[in-house]
Structures are given as C-alpha cells and as structure tokens.
C-alpha cells in the first residue's frame, strides 16, 4: 500500500474566490495559479461567464501546508461542520501568554470577515471558536 504524503482540504461554499482569499490572509497562503496563467484573476477571467468563480484554491508558498480547494455548491450551509481547521497560533504557549496570542490573532481576523463565537478556556488549555466569511467553524488553537 502506498504512503499518503499530501492532503487537500476541500470546502463547499457559495463564493469560492472570496473564501479562498480569506484563508490566504489567515494562513499566509497564496492563490493557486493554474498552469499557463500568470495570476488567478487572469485564469478566472479567461473562463466562460458561468464558470467564473466556480472554484479556487490556495497553497502554502513554503509547500509545507495542505492545499485548500474551494468549490461552488448550490446549497447553503445549514449545520455545524463535521471537520474544521485549527489555526495553531498558540503552540507551545500556556496560560496568559497563550490567551494573549489567541486574542491577538482573533483581533487580526475579525476585520477580514471572521466572526468570534466563543472562548473555550480552563487552566490547562484554551482556544477561540470562530467562523469564516461563509460561516464555517474554525478554531484558533
């Protein structure tokens, strides 16, 4: 059996390009550019009008993180995600230092369109539950 070396995380969404650009800002990723094009916008504008914005992808420029793929679907999000991303901003930090790192990242993401849901906190651990620009849950961890 082959060893899996890479994964892609796929999001169903109404506005793939908008959601992809949000996650690029959150993670420091860049929009994936299809072969033969210099930019994502150049590619997207070359498509028939009904296909424009139907998908988008973003990648970690270092190559270390997974590719994120966003595809347009007709139905709205109506229930809690079964899988979500944890944005690891507090790794190795504890107590007030960890909480300060989480709060600082939350403050950076809210102006980008993220919504803060709630802080989960006890003496051993903490995270902030948030939503992206289309309501998908994620955690600052």
Dihedral of CA atoms 34, 61, 72, 105 in degrees, nearest 10, equals -160
CA 95 to CA 126: how far, in whole Å? 8
Pick the CATH number of 8-72 from 3.30.720, 1.20.1630, 1.10.3210, 3.40.50: 3.30.720
What's the confidence (pLDDT) of residue 68? 97
User: Six-digit token pair at 106?
Assistant: 């939350």
Strand residues in 18-125 grouped as ranges (E): 30-31, 55-59, 67-72, 85-87, 115-121
Q: State the average pLDDT for the chain.
A: 93
| pLDDT category of residue 105 using cuts at 50, 70 and 90 | very high
Domain boundaries, given as residue ranges, for the chain: 8-72, 85-140
* b/e sequence 47-56, b meaning 16+ C-beta within 10 Å: eeeeeebebb
Residue 12 pairs in a beta bridge with: 71
The C-alpha R_g of the chain, in whole angstroms, comes to 17
Cβ(9)–Cβ(65) below 8 Å: no
Task: State pLDDT tens for residues 32-80.
Answer: 999 999 998 999 999 999 999 999 999 999 999 999 999 999 998 888 8
């Amino acid at each position: 059996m082959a060893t899996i070396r890479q994964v892609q995380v796929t999001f169903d969404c109404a506005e793939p390009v908008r959601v992809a650009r949000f996650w690029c800002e959150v993670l420091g990723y860049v929009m994936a550019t299809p072969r033969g094009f210099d930019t994502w916008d150049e590619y997207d504008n070359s498509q028939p009008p009904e296909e424009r914005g139907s998908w988008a992808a973003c990648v970690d420029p270092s190559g270390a993180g997974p590719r994120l793929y966003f595809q347009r679907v007709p139905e709205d999000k109506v229930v809690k995600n079964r899988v979500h991303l944890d944005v690891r901003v507090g790794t190795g930090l504890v107590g007030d230092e960890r909480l300060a790192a989480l709060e600082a990242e939350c403050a950076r993401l809210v102006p980008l369109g993220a919504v803060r849901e709630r802080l989960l906190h006890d003496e051993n651990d903490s995270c902030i539950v948030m939503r992206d620009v289309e309501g998908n849950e994620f955690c600052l961890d």
